[in-house]
Chain A
Amino acid sequence: MITEFTPIASTVGGILIGLATVFLMLLRGRIMGATGILAGAMLPASRYDWIWRALVLAGMFTGPWVYFALFGELPDIDVPVSTVMLIVGGFIVGIGVTVGSGCTSGHGVCGMARLSPRSFVATGVFMLTTGLTVYVVRHMMGV
């Protein structure tokens, strides 16, 4: 499935993600990592710790609807894989981000922005294994 190259929308989206990352640090002193925020919201250390996480998550859920208000349609969500791949892939993502302490937002954005060697290595490793997986699935298994 071909998707349209969207350098401007993607850059603007990236800048907004970056701004949210900066504002969460400015206001609450926290890393904008989806894995950490979600994990901590499910197993909170305290009520105080739960509230900010729940608020950030609730805010995130409004994102596509703000997009709808601005552009008159919801963002595209096209899933080119089977439900089995989605479930197995989702479970594997859950294992990986827990063992590796972060994902694209935590390591890829926040960690690289603060020049963390761990995050540079983590991002390099997961970009590589994602690329290899896509190659194997698409071009060797032909799914």
Chain B
Amino acid sequence: MRNILTFLVGGLFGVGISMSGMANPAKVINFFDIAGTWDPSLAFVMGGAVIVAFVGYRLVLRRSAPVYDPNFDIPQNRKLDARLLIGSGIFGIGWGMAGFCPGGALPALGTLNVDVIVFMAALIAGMLATRVVMERMAAQKAASKPAQ
């Protein structure tokens, strides 16, 4: 039952993305093209999703634990660091170029659309390459510290 429901949650997200227009780069880019062929639809996606999640989270987090797992796994980091700003800034440049974001493209991958496959391959390459570089930098930083 746990696995079936987890799968269905993914399905619900996928249907939502499909209906919303987030899987359609033409629509995503037009949302940001206020000076051109503006299509404000995606404000309604963000609005609907955030309001439902805001109310739902408040109800769910009254529980002491999730239904099937021992703990709520919620990010605790509250630092507004350079990494957050730089990373988010870079993400936006790519999103504006390609028109797909990860949450929009993942469900669309189910259609085996060639453009989506190309985008996802590039996305994964970027994620893995960055992970390797970040791990190297962390290792160098650790090695350069004097031994205690």
- Distance A11 CA – B93 CA, assembled complex (angstroms): 26
B66: chain A residues within 8 A (beta carbon)? 25-30
A55: chain B residues within 8 A (beta carbon)? 3, 6-7, 10
- Distance A122 CA – B101 CA, assembled complex (angstroms): 14
Closest chain A residue to B24, Cβ basis = A76
Q: Do A59 and B14 form a contact, CB below 8 Å, given A10-B48, A34-B102?
A: yes
Closest chain A residue to B70, Cβ basis = A29
Confirm or deny: B90 has a beta carbon within 8 angstroms of a beta carbon on chain A.
yes
B88 to chain A, nearest CB (A): 4
Confirm or deny: B138 has a beta carbon within 8 angstroms of a beta carbon on chain A.
no
Assess whether A6 is in contact with B102, with CB atoms less than 8 Å apart: no
Number of A-B contacts (CB under 8 A): 504
B86: chain A residues within 8 A (beta carbon)? 99-100
B91: chain A residues within 8 A (beta carbon)? 92-93, 95-97, 100, 103, 126, 129
Assess whether B60 is in contact with A26, with CB atoms less than 8 Å apart: yes
Closest chain B residue to A61, Cβ basis = B110
- Distance A77 CA – B40 CA, assembled complex (angstroms): 17
Assess whether B88 is in contact with A17, with CB atoms less than 8 Å apart: no
- Distance A103 CA – B113 CA, assembled complex (angstroms): 22
B69: chain A residues within 8 A (beta carbon)? 27-30
Q: Do A109 and B53 form a contact, CB below 8 Å, given A16-B12, A89-B98?
A: yes
B142 to chain A, nearest CB (A): 19
A30 to chain B, nearest CB (A): 6
Confirm or deny: A7 has a beta carbon within 8 angstroms of a beta carbon on chain B.
yes
Tell me what chain B mostly uses at the interface: helix, strand, loop, or mixed.
Answer: helix
Q: Which of A34, A58, A134 contacts B101 (CB 8 A)?
A: A34
Within 8 A of B (CB), among A99-118: 99-101, 103-105, 107-118
Closest chain B residue to A12, Cβ basis = B19
Q: Do A38 and B6 form a contact, CB below 8 Å, given A89-B94, A134-B33?
A: no
B93: chain A residues within 8 A (beta carbon)? 89, 92, 96, 129-130, 133
A129 to chain B, nearest CB (A): 3
Assess whether A21 is in contact with B49, with CB atoms less than 8 Å apart: yes
Assess whether A86 is in contact with B98, with CB atoms less than 8 Å apart: yes
Q: Which residues of B contact A (CB under 8 A)?
A: 2-3, 5-27, 29-30, 32-37, 39-42, 44-54, 56-57, 59-61, 63, 65-69, 71-75, 77-80, 83-104, 106-111, 113, 115-116, 118-131, 134
Q: Can you add 13 more A-B contacts, CB < 8 Å, to A10-B19, A93-B100, A101-B75?
A: A3-B37, A10-B42, A10-B48, A12-B20, A16-B16, A19-B16, A28-B67, A83-B115, A93-B122, A94-B128, A113-B57, A131-B96, A135-B33
